[in-house]
Chains A and B, each alone.
Chain A
Amino acid sequence: MNIKIKNSSNDPIYLQIKNQIRDAILNGELETDELLPSIRFLAKELRVSVITTKRAYDELEKDGFIHSVQGKGSFVAPQNIELMKERFLKKIETNITEILRYAKLAGMSHDELIEMIKTLESEHAECD
């Protein structure tokens, strides 16, 4: 697993770490029950404060991505992919409803909306 810390990023460092571990779990790079590096080791390797890595792990645990065992370390929690997908779908649904509402207010046509999504998508891809 690679973790990149960008000092120029607007996201706080704990969030950068959290998001990258989360992504690694979601895309299967980290497998269920895999042992994660210890908080202190991660802090040492990334040269960040222990409090930062601890916060990243705490949030990952809160969101159900990992679970910690006292004295043993933190492990990747089993992810219910179906449930996760469903949750994402729901989020997309709510957001699209919102978008449609705004589009109506702005008088945008269906095609214009699709075009906008495509443009943003390609821009986003460049950023990555």
Chain B
Amino acid sequence: MIALMYKDLVALKKALFLLVIVLFLVGFYTVQQGKVMALPLMFILVPLILIGMLWGSDAKSNVDQYIIPGPNKRRTIVLSRYAFVWIVAVIGAVFAVSLKLFAKDSALPELPWYLIAAAMLFLATVISVIQLPLMYKFGAEKARLIFVALYFIVFAFFSYIGGNKELIASIIDKLISLDSKIIGLAIVGVTLLLNGVSYILSVAIYAKKEF
């Protein structure tokens, strides 16, 4: 597992270096513009970019054919992909919470720290974990198409609901009346469930894959 992640890091060393520089520039710009609250949002994009890069590098070198016969379980190879998403999500959550606790920026939303952490974990992983099983099943190209289609469905769904303002208002009312701790727990629960299901699906797909 460590070996596999090491391989990923050195395989992408140049791209990662570039990514870090870009993130710093964007971060710097954001802070200068006084929009500190936008900083954690970068962590929603990073896992997606990472997964995309890892996938591209793997596909180019056909590395699966090398690591599957090696001393790895297929499950571990899948786990090494998810691990990157989870690590970035946790860093994002810690970053967002510390921003909230130490930055004392008025622009930050008035939310308790655990809600911020839960939201970060959810937002940073959700897209990746929907995408990963699709990528394992259909390959990166088709998965992207399916994902775009999925995006439109979700978009259509929300614009339909958006038309129904009373429904939204009532949902928001209900949510606000709930204890924020319960909301936090619910978000964490949904996140864990999504990640778990996604991981199990990916493992099952990858276990049957032939190279």
Query: Do any CB atoms of chain A lie under 8 A from CB atoms of chain B in the complex?
Result: no
Residues of B at the A interface (CB closer than 8 Å) are none
